[in-house]
A and B are shown apart, each in its own frame.
Chain A
Amino acid sequence: MLNVGKIEEGFVLDHIEAGKSLSIYHHLQLDKLDCTVAIIKNARSNKMGKKDILKVECDIDTLDLDVLAFIDHNITVNVIKDGEIVDKKVLTLPKEIRNIIKCRNPRCITSIEQELPHIFVLADEQKEIYRCKYCEEKASESTYAW
């Protein structure tokens, strides 16, 4: 079994759905941070069978939790200080996400208007449905591009 050591300060994202860690890496823009990042794929999990984990040595404030909650709000965010977990952040679905996903409706104004931000609004919290602010097209895996 592969062992990845503890981090002294930063955060550990646990219970990431297996295979999603690289997508999260990109959306958190971790490639732009000058710090140590460990991407662990397909780790064994009692709860999920297998899971991904991200360990990042940086300030927790640099993390955009809104993006993370939109991608998967079941992810556990552990805040680490002096090698110990000092806080667990609860992720809640953001009311609005901006320029994270693109509206794929060809009839939407976002398809032609110059530099218009792509904004999706949380339309139904229970069903976790986001809709384009402009055309109200429902966001789904098939209609949006990361």
Chain B
Amino acid sequence: MRHLMNPLDFTVEELDRLFDLADDIAADPSKYAHACAGKKLATCFYEPSTRTRLSFEAAMLNLGGSVLGFSDAASSSASKGESVSDTIRIISCYADICAMRHPKEGAPMVAASRSGIPVINAGDGGHQHPTQTLTDLLTIRSLKGRLGGFTIGLCGDLKFGRTVHSLIAALLRYSDIRFIFISPPELKVPDYITDQLREQGVKYEEFIRLEDCIADLDLLYMTRVQRERFFNEEDYVRLKDFYILNNEKMALAREDMLVLHPLPRVNEISVEVDDDPRAVYFKQAQYGIYVRMALILTLLEIKV
């Protein structure tokens, strides 16, 4: 029995098979409409996350399965002090697979070690959110036709952004990728990541202004720059516009550059960009469903 805790749990070959399956689902969803009939997904969300939970639930419903679960710790037995280990033993009696989000880092791993059913980490604190990374990879593969051989710009909060760190780690397994990091000096990508890039001979550059490098990019991955991350208000006001994507900046970009964002977007992408065909962040949410459907089928070892 397998679980998914970290995007690197699957080998590149296993990811290829997962993405092939996701492609097949996208091409003919009706073929999979009853694949999980009689199966139940438990969504154990100890903290609210509407999009991720609904994405998992929609994925299971699309496969003809059922869903049950809770959407915050207050409505679970955790409020009575029950441990994660005990909860998953009980859930194993009720469901066939579990997606767990927990504010404590490593909680889904503890669950997996005690579980009788596959466990998917649906986000554990600031640690991992593997299905977001799988969604990003599938989006890139589907819309660019390949994973590798491109220049990707990562923009915004690169210091604390967990989705960015996971995506970099996942992309490092593919060849010929050049990274461009665009962030305020306070929110630069951590040293351990740039050290790793240097050790592996991977090309990267760092910029403060998006305008200075956007013309070079095949992909732009936007994240939010939060006001509270800055040391003072003056710096925030001075720098924030560098990280807001609008039509003016898009005019500098290539015709085939794609804009991705893990969502929710707050104000880092102007609404006017939404109509640009290069803005694919809403399509990304659709790929998130396909990859979760493929993941559920893979972990339940269901062949169609």
Contact = CB atoms under 8 A, between A and B. Distances in A.
Nearest to B128: A136
B107 A109 contact: yes
B282 to A, nearest CB: 31
Contact of B104 (A108, A114, A133, A137): A108
A109 B126 contact: no
Contacts of B106: 108-110, 132-135
Interface string A86-114: 00000000000000000001011111111
Contacts of B84: 109, 113
A107 B125 contact: yes
Interface in A105-146: 105, 107-114, 116, 132-137
Chain A contact-residue range equals 10 to 19
Contact of A107 (B83, B103, B109, B110): B103
A74 to B, nearest CB: 25
Contacts of A105: 105
A114 B83 contact: yes
Interface string B98-115: 000011111101100000
Interface of A: 105, 107-114, 116, 132-137
30 contacts: A107-B103, A107-B105, A107-B125, A107-B126, A107-B127, A108-B106, A109-B84, A109-B102, A109-B104, A109-B105, A109-B107, A109-B109, A110-B106, A111-B104, A112-B104, A113-B104, A113-B110, A114-B83, A133-B106, A134-B105, A134-B106, A134-B107, A134-B110, A135-B105, A135-B106, A135-B125, A135-B127, A136-B105, A136-B127, A137-B105
